[in-house]
Amino acid sequence: MGQHGHSVSVLAMGGKKTRITNRIKEIRQMSKTLTQSELAKKVGATRQTIIAIEAQKYAPSLELAFRIAYILGEPLEEVFIFDPSKMESN
């Protein structure tokens, strides 16, 4: 969900829209000790990637999503939210 409970379309790799949202920024800021740069370094990404993911503009790879959740100390489903009701039908 977006900042005010609205679902946000983000681009997954390959440019396809997806309905994955995240709580990275919220969780990171609750810790009050983990900066975007520190998170990026710990998960093997760039700060720009973390910024894009936090802004709901980019959905990370599955491996990066697991790394982020691990570093944040939260289950994957608490960090990343997928809304299947928003899936496009083929």
CATH code of the domain containing 23: 1.10.260.40
> pLDDT tens digit string along 1-35?
444 343 444 555 455 566 889 999 999 999 899 99
Establish if 90 belongs to a structural domain. no
- Among 43-52, 71-80, 81-90, the range scoring the smallest mean pLDDT is 81-90
Our CA angle for 52, 7, 39, nearest 5°, is: 30
Total domains, the chain: 1
Q: Which residue range forms the structural domain that includes residue 39?
A: 10-85
Q: Looking at the DSSP assignment, which residues form a beta bridge with residue 42?
A: none
Establish if 61 belongs to a structural domain. yes
pTM (predicted TM-score)? 0.77
Between CA 60 and CA 80 the distance in angstroms is 10
> pLDDT tens digit string along 54-74?
999 989 999 999 999 999 999
Establish if 5 belongs to a structural domain. no
